[in-house]
Amino acid sequence: MAMHVLPETAPGTGVSRRAFLKVSALVGGGLLLDFHLPNVRAAVAGGAGEALNAFITVMPDGAIGIRAKNPEIGQGVKTMLPMLIADEFDVDWKNVRIEQALADGVKYGPQFAGGSTATPINWDPLRRVGAAARQMMLQAAAASMSVPVSELKTQSGSVLHVPTGRKLTYGELAAAAAKLPAPDLKTVKLKDPKDFTIIGKPMPGVDSPLVVTGKPLFGIDVTVPGMKYAIYAKCPVFGGKLVKANVDALKSLPGVRHAFVLRGNASAAGSTGPLDRLVDGVAIVADSWWLAEQAREKLEVEWDEGSAAHDSDARFADEAAKLKGQTPAAYIVKNGNVDAALARAARVVEADYAYPFLAHATLEPQNCTASYADGKLTLWAPTQNPESNRKLVAATLGIAPQDITVHMTRCGGGFGRRGASDYAVEAAAISKQVGVPVKLLWNRADDIRHDFYRPAGFHHFKAALDEHGKLTAFRDHFVTLGSVEQPGSSAFAGPDEFPARFVPDMEFAASFIASGVPTGPLRAPESNGLAFAFQSFIDELAHAAGRDPLQFRLDLLGEPRILDSTDDRYGHQPDFDTSRMRGVLELVREKSGWNSRQKLPAGTGMGTAFYYSHMGYFAEVVQATVSGNGALKVDKVWVAADVGSQIINPLGAENQVQGAVLDGIGQSLLRLNIDNGRAVQSNFHDYTLLRINQAPPVEVHFRTTPNPPTGLGEPALPPVIPALCNAIYAACGKRVRRLPIEPATLARA
Amino acid sequence: MKLNLHVNGQRRSVDVDPRTPLVWVLRDELDLKGTKFGCGMSLCGACTVHVDGAPVRACVTQVSTVADKAITTIEGVGATPVGSKVQAAWLAVDVVQCGYCQAGQIMSATALLARNAKPSDADIDAAMTGNLCRCGTYTRIRAAIKQVADLSTDKSEG
């Protein structure tokens, strides 16, 4: 599910003309500000929404409540979004209580975590909500004190009459404010950024005190009275069908209450993927999850594995090797005459790049608690997309959407995985069958083997350099997975892929391999593979040209200018400002000591890369050491980032960037293999996530520029992978053209 | 089978299959949800608890083997002098992203600091490498452990 969401707003305000505020009084003299803001045009595969909504409550005792509408997956939105409201409202952050909203598409509009979109979507509108509430407090105080608003100012949850020093708290004003008409959001006065008291200040995560003391917060922690525990065993080959299972033999095992076959159904979304429907499986419901797992060991199932059983890494690699020399199936970019440019080149550089499938491996395995009774369903789901849970469960099980309540729990990691609703459908179907609340929990093998994956990809590059070492032509034949005619989810690329728009003669072609392996977004989808291939090959070109790889990139970017996007796959995308990318490259050059890298000891090298994704401009330098036997140590990473004019929460922002960089280093060392149509790896002994002893220091520098703030969950990830591979080349002369990095292949003879 | 457990300073009685992994007894019999399930094979450390002060993976520890021992979980570790400092440092450094692994990280870090008040980077690697963090908060985990170590050093010097 790719998500690129752009605000559709009244000029200069970030707020739709249709936005409005609704004011109401709360029992006991409180104020409720219901903000209805249909200002977002969302192009979300599988459903689009058009409204945003937030709540502020003010109680008579001065307590401020702000409702957090989006899922918290570790990206910090439950802290960051309320900061926007609280600062403009001019309240003391210590007095703000933040509550997670229910999933309610009618009330709140889109509630999802994806695409690093929370900041760009909410930066302006949520500040206006806070400013409107502040204006109402000023008006209420003016009426109450019989003074003009011009003599009043707000001060940390109170309104002060400047000439006399008289003061009324927001709590005291709440009942009167609740009777006022709502201000026009488009004309409310926003703070000058220099007056921010909360935005830009380091704010620890609001739920962290609960996390470090072990309070129940996550989906797996949900308990419902009368609840039983379930597992759901599925065919190891994607799309396989159940022939028969020994369910009757399981029913007499200790603690087992139910054991039955559920038949899958056709895709609710009309696609062939196994994640948008219920698939065949065996449900075991028991008094404890461990007893259900014990019963699974006695399960005997015959599967019809289907056509996907022929899928394997080897088949995909063979087909890619064949396809790369054939006429491409499609062109993403076709400009000028690449053949002619290659023919007159001083130097031609050619290379094949490849990267593997990757699983998400959220540390909290997929789970969902479902309670079905009398035609109504309640779900407690760790989800990045609760509305998708509702829609898919409704379509799959024939329950009316309005009869489904979705509670969003904190997620033990998301990374894109919890944008799908397969586990919610399974939990709902099992509860519907047995008539009691059920907590479905996948074990780790379920989680790795029934994921959708970052698709493997293959790139055949050919480029021309002139006698001055200047890049004159660039060709990539990208072989990717999907059906014969088209790419699968997150298995493609757009026409803005660098160096498109920077080289006159450019071809970016694609061919497709039919595959039954489900694919989809993993943190920085598409970019996480493309950045490796493109920014590594550009490094090869720099070396072939005998140039400093960082300066070579600056020269490729050229003069400061703004380039229109040519990518309309998800609606119009923002323009690309070369000065912003140049700015972060120059900053990371300075901070990393790039120009002194020749002084590094033998076996140690620096590599660089830049990448633009999710509206963020990132340039990174990695220093790595490769010993004679190939042992790899990542010594340090420097990040320079431009995500606009304001870092909203510096503490959270640095954490996100450091985490994304370590995630990228982890990705560069990982692979998920496919053989006989199934995922080979099953747990953390063979799916080897990055550990603390492999984690380098990550130094983060933000370069603020006068542009609207954008998100940080994803864009720091893509460039670190090629920067690391380029550092390995600088350290030991071995070029990594295939991920994962295999340290044994880096050994010097 | 009836078993008497000693959890966070309290006597607790449970009636379970004696082979049941401790993590499920804590979570679903005693309603102590802070101890997390991640892998079931002692590979991720999310279920780390203390048994007689030593870090143990509760997902591979049969409950009958710890019946007479002192079990401390994330819910009780704040009552120990080192545990409370570690929790405070985790908040001061703002370690948490998703938070799912952090109970296990805190239990491993507390066990480390209880026996080695000033661990080196190598000591931290050795003690913490069994705890995965999928969000990559390792930089801050290391910083938080060092903050506790520095505070205890300051105290002993002052």
Q: Compare all CA atoms of chain B with the CA of A651 and give the residue at the minimum distance.
A: B94
Q: How many Å apart are CA A407 and CA A630, to the nearest integer?
A: 49
What residue ranges in chain B does DSSP mark as E strands? 2-7, 10-15, 48-51, 54-57, 70-72
Q: So what's the ipTM on this one?
A: 0.97
Q: How confident is the model at residue A389 (pLDDT cuts 50, 70, 90)?
A: confident
Whether residues A212 and B87 touch (CB distance < 8 A) is answered with yes
Q: How many Å apart are CA A517 and CA A488, to the nearest integer?
A: 9
| Overall average pLDDT of the B2-30 stretch | 97
Q: How confident is the model at residue A233 (pLDDT cuts 50, 70, 90)?
A: very high
For the segment A294-344, what is each residue's pLDDT rounded down to a tens digit?
Answer: 999 999 999 999 988 999 999 999 999 999 999 999 999 999 999 999 999
Percent of chain A with pLDDT over 90: 77
Q: Which of A205, A412, A663 sits opposite B100 (nearest CB)?
A: A412
Q: How many Å apart are CA A563 and CA B56, to the nearest integer?
A: 57
Percent of chain A with pLDDT over 70: 91
Name the least confident of A119-123, A705-709, B6-10. A119-123
| Overall average pLDDT of the A643-670 stretch | 98
Q: How confident is the model at residue A630 (pLDDT cuts 50, 70, 90)?
A: very high
Whether residues B99 and A217 touch (CB distance < 8 A) is answered with yes
| Overall average pLDDT of the B51-80 stretch | 97
Which chain A residues are Cβ-neighbours of B128 within 8 angstroms? 692-693
| Overall average pLDDT of the A145-159 stretch | 97
Which chain A residues are Cβ-neighbours of B131 within 8 angstroms? 692
The predicted pLDDT at position A478 comes to 98
Closest CA to B121 of A485, A591, A695: A695
* Neighbour-count burial for B22-35, b at 16+ CB within 10 Å, e otherwise: bbbbbbbbbebbbb
pLDDT of B29 over the 90 cut = yes
| Overall average pLDDT of the B40-64 stretch | 98
Name the least confident of A395-399, A628-632, B56-60, B89-93. A395-399
For residues A295 and A270, the model is more confident at A295
Whether residues A204 and B98 touch (CB distance < 8 A) is answered with no
Least Cα separation, residue B132 to chain A (angstroms): 6
Q: How many CB atoms lie within 10 A of CB A730?
A: 22
The pairing of beta strand A158-161 with beta strand A3-7:
unpaired
Q: How confident is the model at residue A6 (pLDDT cuts 50, 70, 90)?
A: very low
pLDDT of A698 over the 50 cut = yes
Report whether the peptide linkage leading into residue A518 is cis, meaning its omega lies within 30 degrees of zero: no
Least Cα separation, residue A413 to chain B (angstroms): 5
For the segment A557-589, what is each residue's pLDDT rounded down to a tens digit?
Answer: 999 999 999 888 877 888 999 999 999 999 999
pLDDT of A44 over the 80 cut = no
pLDDT of A271 over the 80 cut = no
Q: How many CB atoms lie within 10 A of CB A413?
A: 25
The predicted pLDDT at position A600 comes to 98
pLDDT of A79 over the 80 cut = yes
Q: Which of A254, A362, A660 sits opposite B17 (nearest CB)?
A: A254
Q: Compare all CA atoms of chain A with the CA of B27 and give the residue at the minimum distance.
A: A221
Q: How many Å apart are CA B122 and CA A693, to the nearest integer?
A: 8
Q: How many CB atoms lie within 10 A of CB B81?
A: 11
The predicted pLDDT at position B154 comes to 59
Name the least confident of A129-138, A498-507, A677-686. A129-138
Whether residues A214 and B141 touch (CB distance < 8 A) is answered with no
Q: In what order do the strands lie in the sheet with A347-355?
A: A330-335, A505-514, A471-482, A457-465, A347-355
Q: How confident is the model at residue A105 (pLDDT cuts 50, 70, 90)?
A: low
- The backbone torsions φ and ψ at residue A332, rounded to the nearest 5 degrees and listed phi first, read -85, -40
Which chain A residues are Cβ-neighbours of B36 within 8 angstroms? 218, 220, 363-364, 412
Which chain B residues are Cβ-neighbours of A74 within 8 angstroms? 96-99, 135
Q: Which of B36, B102, B129 sits opposite A692 (nearest CB)?
A: B129
Which chain A residues are Cβ-neighbours of B73 within 8 angstroms? 214
Whether residues A364 and B142 touch (CB distance < 8 A) is answered with no
Q: How many Å apart are CA B83 and CA B141, to the nearest integer?
A: 14
Q: How confident is the model at residue B157 (pLDDT cuts 50, 70, 90)?
A: very low
The predicted pLDDT at position A321 comes to 98
Whether residues B46 and A363 touch (CB distance < 8 A) is answered with yes
Q: How confident is the model at residue B155 (pLDDT cuts 50, 70, 90)?
A: low
Token digits of residue A745: 């292949």
The predicted pLDDT at position A748 comes to 85
Amino acid at A88: E
The predicted pLDDT at position A2 comes to 32
pLDDT of A416 over the 90 cut = yes
For residues B95 and A55, the model is more confident at B95
pLDDT of A52 over the 80 cut = no
Could you tell me how many CB contacts below 8 A there are between chain A and chain B? Answer: 175
The predicted pLDDT at position A13 comes to 37
Which chain B residues are Cβ-neighbours of A209 within 8 angstroms? 91
| Overall average pLDDT of the B55-78 stretch | 97
pTM passes above 0.90: yes
Identify the top-confidence range among A5-19, A78-92, A112-126. Answer: A78-92
Q: How confident is the model at residue A272 (pLDDT cuts 50, 70, 90)?
A: very low
Q: How confident is the model at residue A118 (pLDDT cuts 50, 70, 90)?
A: confident
Amino acid at A387: E
pLDDT of A18 over the 90 cut = no
| Overall average pLDDT of the A99-120 stretch | 75
Q: Which of A211, A216, A229 sits opposite B102 (nearest CB)?
A: A211
Q: Which of B99, B103, B129 sits opposite A74 (nearest CB)?
A: B99
pLDDT of A700 over the 60 cut = yes
3-state helix, strand, coil in chain A (%, to 5): 30, 30, 40
| Overall average pLDDT of the A716-732 stretch | 98
The predicted pLDDT at position A47 comes to 24
pLDDT of A647 over the 50 cut = yes
What is the residue-averaged pLDDT of chain A? Answer: 90
CB interface of A with B, residues 444-473, below 8 Å: 444
For the segment A169-219, what is each residue's pLDDT rounded down to a tens digit?
Answer: 999 998 888 888 878 888 899 999 999 999 999 999 999 999 999 999 999
The pairing of beta strand A158-161 with beta strand A152-154:
antiparallel
For the segment A453-494, what is each residue's pLDDT rounded down to a tens digit?
Answer: 999 999 999 999 999 999 999 999 999 999 888 899 999 999
Q: How confident is the model at residue A423 (pLDDT cuts 50, 70, 90)?
A: very high
Q: Compare all CA atoms of chain B with the CA of A446 and give the residue at the minimum distance.
A: B39
Least Cα separation, residue A254 to chain B (angstroms): 9
Question: Judging by beta carbons within 10 Å of its beta carbon (0-12, 13-18, 19+), is residue B95 exposed, middle or buried?
Answer: buried
The predicted pLDDT at position A267 comes to 63
pLDDT of A17 over the 50 cut = no
Closest CA to A711 of A123, A40, A186: A123
For residues A395 and B117, the model is more confident at B117
Least Cα separation, residue A433 to chain B (angstroms): 23
Closest CA to A637 of A680, A614, A666: A666
Q: How many Å apart are CA B43 and CA B76, to the nearest integer?
A: 23
